[in-house]
Chain A
């Protein structure tokens, strides 16, 4: 686009413009050439091959930078190479501690997220459905909401008898606010006509809550839960790195302290995978329970 714009432009071109134009042209030309090599009449081939190539180029660049101990802004001299990471992974995946750490993180997430969902949906519905409860609860929400869950770490350790409980509490705090706010928002959006229709069919306030308000808010609630899941992992890792004894966050931080740099990246990738599996599960469940919104 940029190149063709310049061609139509008859203003005198500076040297820089000229260089930009020719270089972008040739890059496009080569990209096009490479793409055409893999273009066998079907989009599906491109869809697989190009991302794969992109990742492979990235890995090669990473390998090259670490092997040559490059030091350009970022210092690559201590960074493990992809091959090193792969070897670390093979070593670590057969150990019991790695799986134990995964188990502990998942257990904490499951516990904190379940409590967070129950509390979050209840509080969110209360805020949206009852004017009195809104006046009572909303000030607390407004005060606590802007405080990041990580800021609770010292208080949490003071408050709870065990470190384990304080980590779960921090994770719960991460999960609960997105769920509260999205549930509240969903309940606020319930069309008055639907409530009136239910009332005219003989539904009382409780029936309206369970048959109209909550079903209507479910898509919003699941969005809140997906956001809450991301925030829960964020908080969990902070908690595990600061005061944990087990868990994948602890694993990652311990790897740094024990100078097992390959394991740092194994830990990071594991966290990424766990986080996307758990968030993906929420969207999967959403599709199961709200077939009417698809």
Chain B
């Protein structure tokens, strides 16, 4: 389990082509994300952090360079690369359970196995009892939980999250962060987490990768020295120090 989900980003350029013009967002970015690691990507809006996440997910083709998952180049989206988007993307015509079992069913797991997996992950995100609800009947936070369950039920090697908690109130956000950390500790999935919230990045991840809009590449990487087994809260001073370093680097 520990040795799958290793991502190698090699000299990647990302951008959009319109006619003969090419607008490059990410320039020559290289980064290694170890199997089972938890990495946050932060940067000002428009710096290309979402684009990079989508490229890892196989939704954008790099202009040059390549992204490897366990040594194999990522060319199309796949079930190994689970994504939780910023927007709600639960299928409105499927119940929570039908949404969560969608991935396993596509992978050819039978109905019985898929249902069992769905139940397991619905319980993991604390949505037991809501299996037969349609997304519209759930609150925003519950929909996010269901989306996380749907991504996890597929047992992806990598979980890519694009500002998943951006639109939530503070209380719900903390509770979902706690759930995410315990999921990470239990499943050892590689998590790449895009956010613009420095506190969130420091609280959750082992490494905070700061992407500069000016250069379109990594301006620095901060290690938080967090391990799987560490308790969630660090000392206030350490957090404060990390935060001020991040903020200094972000404004640079």
> Does B106 lie within 8 Å of A201, measured CB to CB?
yes
Rounded to whole angstroms, the CA-CA distance of A251 and B81 in the bound complex is 65
Known A-B contacts A203-B106, A207-B106; the reply to A197 vs B93 at CB < 8 A is: no
Nearest chain B CB to A40's CB is how many angstroms away?
A: 39
Partner of B78, one of A193, A202, A218: A202
Nearest chain B CB to A106's CB is how many angstroms away?
A: 31
> Does A292 lie within 8 Å of B93, measured CB to CB?
yes
Report the interface size for chain B: residues with CB under 8 A from the other chain: 28
> Does A292 lie within 8 Å of B87, measured CB to CB?
no
> Does B79 lie within 8 Å of A290, measured CB to CB?
no
* Best-surrounded residue of B77, B79, B87, B93 (most CB of chain A within 10 A): B93
Report chain A residues within 8 Å CB of B107: 202
Known A-B contacts A193-B87, A193-B89, A211-B102; the reply to A201 vs B59 at CB < 8 A is: no
Report chain A residues within 8 Å CB of B82: 200-201
> Does A197 lie within 8 Å of B89, measured CB to CB?
yes
Partner of A196, one of B78, B83, B150, B154: B83
Report chain A residues within 8 Å CB of B91: 194, 198, 211-212, 215
B74-127 contacts to A, CB under 8 A, are 76-79, 81-83, 85, 87, 89, 91-94, 102-103, 106-107
Rounded to whole angstroms, the CA-CA distance of A195 and B107 in the bound complex is 17
Report chain A residues within 8 Å CB of B59: 196, 199-200
Please report A residues at the B interface, Cβ cutoff 8 Å.
191, 193-194, 196-204, 207, 211-212, 215-216, 218, 290-293
7 other A-B residue contacts (CB within 8 Å) besides A200-B59, A202-B107: A194-B89, A201-B102, A204-B106, A207-B106, A212-B91, A292-B135, A292-B136
A-B contact pairs, 10 of them (CB 8 A): A191-B89, A196-B54, A199-B58, A200-B151, A201-B106, A201-B151, A202-B103, A203-B106, A290-B93, A292-B135
